[in-house]
Amino acid sequence: MCSPLTDLDRHLAEAAARFGTPAYVYATDVVEERLAHLRAHLGRWFAVSFAVKSNPNPALLGWMRDRLDYLDISSGGELALGREAGWDAARISFTGPAKREAELRAAIEAGLGELVLESLREARLADAVAAEMGRVQPVLVRLAPARVPKGFGDQMAGRPSPFGVDVEDAAEILPQIAALPNLRIIGLHIYSGTQCLKPEAICENWRIFMQVFRDTCAALDLRPEKLIFGAGLGIPYHPGDSALDLAAIAAEIGPELDAFRAEPRLADARLVLELGRYLVGPAGWFVTRVLSVKQSRGTRIAICDGGLNDNLAASGNFGMVLRRNYVMHRVGGDEDGTRPEEKQDISGPLCTSIDKLGGGVALPRLEEGDLIAIHACGAYGPTASPLHFISHPMPAEVLLTGGQMQDVTRIRDR
């Protein structure tokens, strides 16, 4: 019986041989396991919405269609991707702080489930578009709380932010939105922080959400149909990171969620977790091949065919304050001890010093032709990277389902 690592390496090596490198490999079996784990611990309270921005690959979106409850988009382009993947527009919500009139028109015309309003300006524009079509568009109003607990990798509230209506201004702005005749407020939305690995911080954040939802619904005399909890659930990227304990979250916040749902005004609301990287991040690997190895002033450097142009996040240039290595391994391991482990730098092919995928990484001694697999790369991969910088070949994308592979590359060389 092969070990899990051996099975993984066999798949990664096959993907590299068949489709070339650099390549992203997405394992839907892992996504399915993570979704089952999520539903087992939090499904009692929440439906699940997938944030397309985290991985907009059409084949992956199509695979998700009958497995998740909702899809959240942030552009007209993502709306088109979701629709092409077979998603009913009624199951799609649309967030984003700079929606264009043409995007609003396409979404409303398609029968969008909910438009998530981020400002009064956007509400007025959407109302005018809906009026032209003779429609009343269901909307959620995004709110920005005054505080975000410590422990989130990125904060989108609690300070000046382009996202949502500040809670301090809600009493003035929300009644104006509610008065627009071609919009119907059916609920509220908060996404104030992301990439959190601390259960206590997640729970504290959701407590803030619940109080904001209570206060706002009371002020508007609103009985919401839907309340969106921006999940903020993080994933371990770096050596030493621990996976988020969903059981601990459920045990701590569960009684409060039960009480929240029992309140008469909120009893008919569907609570929805909006998330992305939590589901797909650990289900993806970035595979790159070593093109050259050199010694430079006492450091061994492996130079690979994929770098920050293909994987900006792994290079540490996608919102990371202090650069830390992602977990990675040599495909094939140490070959029964014949490859002694040593610290090596991992660089990409670009003519810039920031094209570095790892510094001082302890790996079996790398040689030309070896494959390196970087973990936790199923989210914010190709579409979050400067693919055209220096015009190297585009990375392949491979969908792995039940041991079967298919080329699902979305962005190809011209």
In sequence order, the 6+-apart residues with CB closer than 8 A to the CB of 213 are: 188, 190, 224, 227, 266
Instruction: Return the sign of the alpha-carbon dihedral for residues 260, 262, 268, 273.
Output: positive
Rounded Cα–Cα distance for residues 357 and 346 (Å): 5
Closest CA to 50 of 41, 37, 66, 61: 61
d(CA 123, CA 238): 41
Is residue 153 located within the same domain as residue 271? Answer: yes
The last residue of one of the domains, among 236, 258, 275, is: 275
Q: Cα–Cα distance between 116 and 165 in angstroms, integer?
A: 11
Question: DSSP assignment of 286-304, as one string?
Answer: EEEEEEEEEEETTEEEEEE
Q: How are beta strands 165-166 and 193-196 bridged, if at all? A: unpaired
Task: Give the span between the Cα atoms of 256 and 160, in whole angstroms.
Answer: 29
Domain that holds residue 314: 282-407
170 with 187, same domain? yes
Of the candidates 372, 393, 377, 238, the one whose C-alpha atom is nearest the C-alpha of residue 301 is: 372
First-to-final CA distance of the chain:
43
Q: Please report, for the chain, how many H helices and E strands are present, in that order.
A: 10, 20
Domain-embedded: residue 401: yes
The pairing of strands 404-407 and 396-401 is: antiparallel
Q: What is the pLDDT of residues 301-315, one digit of tens each?
A: 999 999 999 999 999
Residues 182 and 126 both lie in one domain: yes
Tell me, what's the pLDDT at 249?
A: 98
With respect to residue 48, please indicate whether it lies within any of the assigned structural domains: no
Structure token pair of residue 324: 């830390």
299 lies in the same domain as 266: no
Structural domain count, the chain: 2
Q: Do 207 and 103 share a structural domain?
A: yes
Do 298 and 256 belong together in one domain?
A: no
Residue 414's pLDDT is what?
64
pLDDT for res 77: 97
Q: Would residue 106 count as lying in a domain?
A: yes
My answer on whether 254 and 357 are in the same domain is no
Q: Are residues 124 and 259 in the same domain?
A: yes
Of 249, 275, 301, which one is at a domain's C-terminal end? 275
Q: Pick the closest to residue 30 from 324, 311, 377 (CA basis).
A: 377
Q: DSSP letter string over 220-284?
A: HT---SEEEEE--B----STT-----HHHHHHHHHHHHHHHHHSGGGTTPEEEEEESHHHHGGGE
Residues in the chain with pLDDT values less than 70: 1-5, 156, 158, 321, 414
pLDDT in tens, 378-412: 999 999 999 999 999 999 999 999 999 999 999 99
Q: CATH number of the domain that 304 lies in?
A: 2.40.37.10
Catalytic residue numbers read 351
- Return d(Cα 73, Cα 81) in angstroms, integer: 9
Whether residue 271 contacts residue 229, with contact meaning beta carbons closer than 8 Å, is answered with yes
Judged by DSSP in three states, 316 sits in coil
DSSP annotation of 365 reads: P
Q: Is the dihedral of CA 147, 153, 159, 162 positive or negative?
A: negative
341 token code pair: 């482990």
Residue 356 domain flag: yes
Cβ contacts of 88 within 8 Å, gap of 6 or more: none
CB neighbour list of residue 151: distance below 8 Å, 6 or more residues apart:
196, 197, 198, 200, 201
pLDDT reported for residue 274: 97
- Residue where a domain terminates, one of 251, 275, 299: 275
